[in-house]
Amino acid sequence: MSSREYEHSLYVLWNRVNAQMGLAAFRQGHFYEAHIALLDLNSFQKAKELLSQGVTFQRGSDRDKEKEELQERSIIPYHMQIPLDLLECVALICGLLLEVPNMAFLAYDKNGRKRYQTIYSKPLRTALEKAERSTVLTPAESMRERIVESARSLQQGNWKKAFEILDNDIQVCKTHSELMAKEKIFEEKLLPEVKQQAVRIYLWNFVNSYQTISLQALADMFELPVVSVRQLLHRMIIDRKLAPQIALDSTSTYLV
């Protein structure tokens, strides 16, 4: 094995490990870690080449025959390949859980932090901004369009519809349900996360319209335990995700 072949096989192995770590993190409910692991694989639409599961032939002067031959020789057998559509689906769902609250916070924050803003999922943000500008929205057909539709529902605070789209309308998740343990992940991991992010988005959108908000009312609205809502609000206050004058009362039952 030449040094070039060795470096290529090591690079492919590194990408495959990252892909499996991303899927494993998603299965365990660690959505931020899954997003980080899958970010590079899905950023430039070259996951097939990065995982050595196919070859993209180039034309003209940029074509490197030696590189193409090396890629053809090192293609992973079909039964060992990682489903690319599943990787994209998981990356977009993780991006939804991070980017939609991020956009809501940037709209809420008035202290000039926009210059420090982080974009977790540029494709998702671009699709959401395009949908906001569009006057006519066509029915979602592809997997990406359905996830964007779910993100729009989450933006509007409709967490039930957002989760329903992810749970029922994403064919990729059904196809690879055994690999992803779909029933367990979606009900035990994804649903509580969607609810919590919906609480954060709701507060950023409407907190200025209230003088006081009952934690019990928030818990009933989003079908969460009051303890979970209280922990979430404590975290938001500590992380300065709410205005400085907003705090819990002495009994920790109202946000004032």
Single out the residue in 50, 84, 118 at which a domain terminates.
Answer: 84
Kindly give the interhelix angle for 3-27 and 65-73, rounded to the nearest 10 degrees. 60
Q: Indicate the residue among 35, 53, 84 that finishes a domain.
A: 84
pTM: 0.87
d(CA 202, CA 222): 10
C-beta separation of 48 from 54 below 8 A: yes
Domain tally, the chain: 2
Which of 68, 84, 100 lies at the terminal end of a domain, its last residue? 84
**H/E element, 255:** strand 254-255
Asked whether residue 89 is domain-assigned, the answer is: no
The tokens describing 251, both together, are: 């009994």
CA distance 126 to 138: 17
In a domain, 234, yes or no: yes
Position 59 scores a pLDDT of 63
For tokens 């609810």, the residue is 195
In a domain, 122, yes or no: no
Contact by Cβ (8 Å): 42, 87: yes
Q: Give the pLDDT confidence score for residue 256 in this predicted structure.
A: 67
> Does residue 96 lie in a domain region?
no
Instruction: For residue range 69-95, list pLDDT tens digits in order.
Output: 777 777 888 888 888 888 988 999 999
User: On the CB side of 208, how many CA atoms lie within 13 Å of its CA?
Assistant: 8
Residue of 143, 162, 153, 151 lying closest to 126 (CA atoms): 151
pLDDT digits (tens, 9 = 90+) for 21-66: 999 999 899 999 999 999 888 876 788 888 888 776 666 556 667 7
At 30, is the secondary structure helix, strand, or coil?
A: coil
Distance (Å, whole) CA 178 – CA 90: 15
pLDDT for 55 equals 72
Task: Round to whole Å and give the CA distance between 242 and 256.
Answer: 11
State the residue range of the domain holding 222.
210-256
Q: At 159, which amino acid appears?
A: W
Query: What's the pLDDT score for residue 9?
Result: 83
- Establish if 99 belongs to a structural domain: no
Tokens of 213: 């908000």
Q: Which two tokens stand for residue 201?
A: 């988005």
Give dist(CA 42, CA 35) in Å, integer: 10
Low-confidence ranges of the chain (pLDDT < 70): 1-6, 44, 56-64, 110-117, 177-179, 181-183, 250, 256
